[in-house]
Structure 1
Amino acid sequence: MTSTNVNRDKPTAATTGSTTGFRGALLTLSLSMLLPALSTSIVNVALPSMAEGFSASFQQVQWIVLAYLLAISSLIVGVGRLGDIAGRRRLLLVGTALFTAATFLSGVAPTLWFLIAARAAQGIGAASMMALSMAFVAETVPTPRIGRAMGLLGTMSAIGTALGPSLGGLLIAGFGWRAIFLVTAPLGLLTFVLARRYLPADGPTRKAGRLSFDYVGTLLLALTLGAYSLAVTLEHGVFGSLSMALLLATLVGLGLFVLTETRVSSPLIRLKNFRDPALSAGLGMSALVSTVMMTTLVVGPFHLARALGIQPALIGLVMSAGPVVAALTGVPAGRLVDRLGAQRVVVVGLIGMVIGSISMSFVPISLGIAGYVISLVVITASYALFQTANNTTVMTGILAEQRGVISGMLNLSRNLGLLTGASVMGAIFAFASGAVDITTADPGDVATGTRAAFALAAALVMVALGIAIGSNRSTKVSHRDPVGPGRLSGSGEE
């Protein structure tokens, strides 16, 4: 088989450009990771103001968040694949332009449903930015420094998540909720300008290439992922009749998608690629670990408020410790990956997360904020190690025409883990507490729910650790080279 590669022979910024060009490319990719994360976390704090401004219910304004997340989760794989075919730089520019325009329109939205539509368009642009940023690393960064670059991108994503609530609160207090969008839009414009200047140009695309995009598979996958996302969010983990119907639709859609991918000549996802232990293990571990990380965000505020009795003004400060630690750990984690190897760091990170989750499950209330923060720091620092190493393992050594779709799948696994964690782990927490209303539950009941949630979290990370160890053994048996050329099969054209 001869794989078609539109970018393999193209010089990269890392090898042909100046130091300024190399740094400009990394700055561009960093902003492309920061802005989607910032646009996720900055809106949550504005929901009460939006509900008041539009005279809407909480359930209605929730769609401002859901529309954005649904668009990303449903389209990120298809966008990544389209970038592989039509040119990653072209599609990243289009996505950034769409993100910027939709952000501005969100800031001037006259009605709630106009805002929701603009947020959906913003999510489409964000999917392009997230999927293609990691795909560009192999084209702009020398192989010995890929770990550090992945660590930097992870750091920027963590900074965006951490910065959102505090920046949003300041902007809303001073200028109103519209400012959170009107301040973000110029950053999107800056990203577009930097991308045009510093990212390496796309190679020539074949005329037939645009026709080889799997439209049916992309539509089926988008509908399937949309159904799953709604199933785990609409009823907040209760899983009533509507959620069960959506889960059934998800299973049917998944079956149809798999059937379609086995029959088309140029599938969106080549199913035989899942035979690669690094890819399958990396995606599975990413979903499991992201589920655990969402536990800290869902359970944390209730534990701090009800079990520890912390005032609302301090809760945000304590919660920000996690993202701040992840941001500070990202770049050192990348250096560690480059020095020790990604697979070893994956195992170290997962072991740390197990220790942190168990600590969170057993830490007594008497230790107060200190006990909670110490456990949270262990979890988030270990997560930064894992994420950097896992992203490096999955994205290193794959064919150029597969980088976009694999990056999209990696981001998708993380998003699905976050959505699942918000629903399932929240439901476990509420159920274990035994309270009818968790917002008025006794401190002891809330602490019981916290222990149950993090005990399950520790079990999930242990499963991920088992996958990592099994994947390492499979790799050694098959003599797989994690940084060798062309790890995965091509796009399907013979």
Structure 2
Amino acid sequence: MSSAIKTHSRWLALGGISIASFLGCIDFTIVNTAIPAIQNELNASIDQSQWVVTMFVMALCSFMVAAGRLADLYGRRGALYTGMLVFALASLGAGLSTSIGMLIAWRFVQGLACAVLYTTSANLVADAFAPRQRGMALGLLFAANGLGLAAGPVAGGLLVAAWGWRSVFLLNVPLIVLAFALCLGQLQASRPPATTQKLDIPGLLLLMLGIPGLLLLISHAGEWGWGSVQTLLLAGGTAMLLGLFIRIELRSEQPLVNLGIFTNRRFIAASIATFCLAFFYCAAFFLMPLYLGFIRGQDSAGIGWMLLPTTLVMAAVSPLAGRLVDRYTTTPVLIAGLLFLALSALIQSRFTLNSDLSTVLLAFACMGIGWGCMLGPSTMAALSSVPEQLGAVAMGTSWTLHNLGGALGVTIATALYTSVTSSAGVWTQVVFLSGFQAAMGLLVGVSLAGGLAVLALSRRSGMTAPAQTWSGE
């Protein structure tokens, strides 16, 4: 199945796809800074407001693999256009919401649409460019993605201050129209495979129930208590759903997820890399603003500007990382990225009450380098590890693991921080730093462990060699 972009129009289409993918990524992080304003205007409690973020992530994780499968079966161009349309409508609905329940519902729809944008964009770009240009093109795409993820907190604060929280959602509408205009007429329709394959509905339903259950468990077990009735019931129910999903997928002739993909060491290495990346940046982006506010006394605008070194460096490094992949393959670039993340966390674990500004900016810049080295190459590694017909499923599976890594990262790092600071009894800047340093130490360990795992799996599977054919049998 091919959905190649016409040669003379591929860069124009890349611009449109990048805008759509950027909007999907920025909506992952931009809402966090708008939560207080949403809470005040819609008279929502803190617990209700948090569902504005949680529901989006749940929909994204639950539908990611299914979105990739639908794109493979029915065409990637059509899937992309459908995702754009639904995303625009959901953004309009969110921006015009008059109650917290309505906003949460539209955020769920936004998450579904973003799952489609994530899983189709990279495949369309990969199909459009020759192998010698593919790394650079994907690097530009993921520079836009990473810019969206990293710029979210900054852009959210500025938009809310200028035009209110509704602008965070309503601005998506004209931008997605622009993206559609750039893509229209530039993408060739992809023909569905001439097979009798169908969507695995039982597997889809079990996955869409099991993953939210897992995320709820990760998010609330600490609050409820690990031995509480709620936690035990949810853990048992989630384990049953996911266990049944695995059983059905192993027996299905046309599974939603070909679990044989997890026997592919090259795919596992790519998945570990993207999991560790999300684990790192979700935890770090939760902790870094707290350090800037509590220790350095920055206000909201100042915190946003202080995070720019991470954003700008990541955006600058991503295209370079793509060119390095074209020349040296993904493995050395991924390992370098994990080492830079470890260096960033190591420097931050040494922060004190009087750390020099240059030291802070250096740590943040190292995070940007590591992020830029990994975001695109980890996806390229996942795509190159499987045959073309499984590309969207590999993309969806990889991004599902990415999102789960992010959920685990922020939850575990927060739990570690809380356990360290709560033992002190009285909160002070020194106590905060002890928790911050412990959490950053965790990120050092995760990054180094991820690098060792990628190196070991790559050596055993020949990941440093050209892409191999894998049938999934």
Please report the TM-score for the alignment, with normalisation by the length of structure 2: 0.93
| AA in 2 matched with 1:464 | G
How many angstroms apart in 1 are the aligned matches of 2:342 and 2:158?
36
**Alignment of structure 1 residues 74-85 onto 2, 5 Å:** 74-85=62-73
Aligned partner of 1:224 among 210, 213, 219: 210
Unaligned runs of 5+ in 2: none
Aligned partner of 1:483 among 463, 467, 471: 467
| AA in 2 matched with 1:226 | P
Higher mean C-alpha deviation, range 418-427 or range 242-251? 242-251
| AA in 2 matched with 1:297 | F
Report what 1:318 is aligned to: 306
* Kept in 1: contact 2:146–2:375 (CA 8 A): no
Pair 1:92-2:80 in alignment? yes
Report what 1:401 is aligned to: 389
How many angstroms apart in 2 are the aligned matches of 1:163 and 1:306?
21
How many angstroms apart in 2 are the aligned matches of 1:462 and 1:356?
12
* Kept in 2: contact 1:107–1:179 (CA 8 A): yes
Report what 1:138 is aligned to: 126
* Kept in 1: contact 2:416–2:438 (CA 8 A): yes
How many angstroms apart in 1 are the aligned matches of 2:287 and 2:164?
28
Aligned residues: 471
* Kept in 2: contact 1:357–1:458 (CA 8 A): yes
Partner of 2:251, secondary structure, is coil
Report what 1:473 is aligned to: 459
Report what 2:7 is aligned to: 17
**Alignment of structure 1 residues 243-262 onto 2, 5 Å:** 243-262=231-250
Tell me the CA shift for residue 480 of structure 1: 8.2
How many angstroms apart in 2 are the aligned matches of 1:100 and 1:415?
22
Aligned partner of 2:433 among 436, 447, 455: 447
How many angstroms apart in 2 are the aligned matches of 1:153 and 1:34?
8
Report what 2:179 is aligned to: 191
Partner of 1:147, secondary structure, is helix
Tell me the CA shift for residue 80 of structure 1: 0.5
- Aligned pair in 2 of structure 1 residues 207, 190: CA closer, same or farther (>3 Å)? farther
Pair 1:169-2:157 in alignment? yes
* Kept in 2: contact 1:232–1:243 (CA 8 A): no
How many angstroms apart in 2 are the aligned matches of 1:61 and 1:36?
20
Runs (4 or more) in structure 1 with deviation over 6 Å come to none
Tell me the CA shift for residue 414 of structure 1: 1.2
How many angstroms apart in 2 are the aligned matches of 1:236 and 1:318?
31
Aligned partner of 1:105 among 51, 73, 93: 93
Pair 1:419-2:407 in alignment? yes
Report what 1:343 is aligned to: 331
Tell me the CA shift for residue 235 of structure 1: 5.8
**Residues 54-110 of structure 1, C-alpha deviations (whole Å, 9 max, x = no match):** 111121111111121111111111110111111111111111111111111111112
Aligned partner of 2:53 among 65, 70, 85: 65
**Residues 32-62 of structure 1, C-alpha deviations (whole Å, 9 max, x = no match):** 3201112222222221111111111121111
**Alignment of structure 1 residues 376-395 onto 2, 5 Å:** 376-395=364-383
Report what 1:3 is aligned to: none
| AA in 1 matched with 2:467 | V
* Kept in 1: contact 2:329–2:464 (CA 8 A): no
Pair 1:213-2:199 in alignment? yes
Report what 2:23 is aligned to: 35
- Aligned pair in 2 of structure 1 residues 239, 395: CA closer, same or farther (>3 Å)? farther
**Residues 386-414 of structure 1, C-alpha deviations (whole Å, 9 max, x = no match):** 23322222112632221111111111111
Please report the TM-score for the alignment, with normalisation by the length of structure 1: 0.89
* Kept in 2: contact 1:428–1:453 (CA 8 A): yes
**Residues 279-298 of structure 1, C-alpha deviations (whole Å, 9 max, x = no match):** 01211232123112222111
Report what 2:137 is aligned to: 149
- Aligned pair in 2 of structure 1 residues 117, 255: CA closer, same or farther (>3 Å)? same
Aligned partner of 1:118 among 99, 106, 130: 106
Partner of 1:109, secondary structure, is coil
How many angstroms apart in 2 are the aligned matches of 1:42 and 1:106?
13
How many angstroms apart in 2 are the aligned matches of 1:482 and 1:488?
16
Tell me the CA shift for residue 356 of structure 1: 2.2
Partner of 1:489, secondary structure, is coil
Tell me the CA shift for residue 252 of structure 1: 2.2
* Kept in 2: contact 1:237–1:423 (CA 8 A): no
- The CA RMSD over aligned residues, in Å, is 2.2
Report what 1:299 is aligned to: 287
Higher mean C-alpha deviation, range 298-307 or range 199-208? 199-208
How many angstroms apart in 1 are the aligned matches of 2:464 and 2:140?
27
Higher mean C-alpha deviation, range 367-376 or range 49-58? 367-376
Report what 1:282 is aligned to: 270
**Residues 453-491 of structure 1, C-alpha deviations (whole Å, 9 max, x = no match):** 111111111211111111121123xx985434x43438x
* Kept in 2: contact 1:80–1:131 (CA 8 A): yes
Unaligned runs of 5+ in 1: 1-5
Aligned partner of 1:362 among 344, 350, 356: 350
- Aligned pair in 2 of structure 1 residues 464, 488: CA closer, same or farther (>3 Å)? farther
Tell me the CA shift for residue 190 of structure 1: 2.3
How many angstroms apart in 1 are the aligned matches of 2:135 and 2:38?
40
**Residues 209-243 of structure 1, C-alpha deviations (whole Å, 9 max, x = no match):** 3xx21111111111111111122224677754334
| AA in 1 matched with 2:470 | R
Report what 1:432 is aligned to: 420
* Kept in 2: contact 1:32–1:130 (CA 8 A): no
**Alignment of structure 1 residues 254-273 onto 2, 5 Å:** 254-273=242-261
- Aligned pair in 2 of structure 1 residues 176, 116: CA closer, same or farther (>3 Å)? same
- Aligned pair in 2 of structure 1 residues 446, 60: CA closer, same or farther (>3 Å)? same
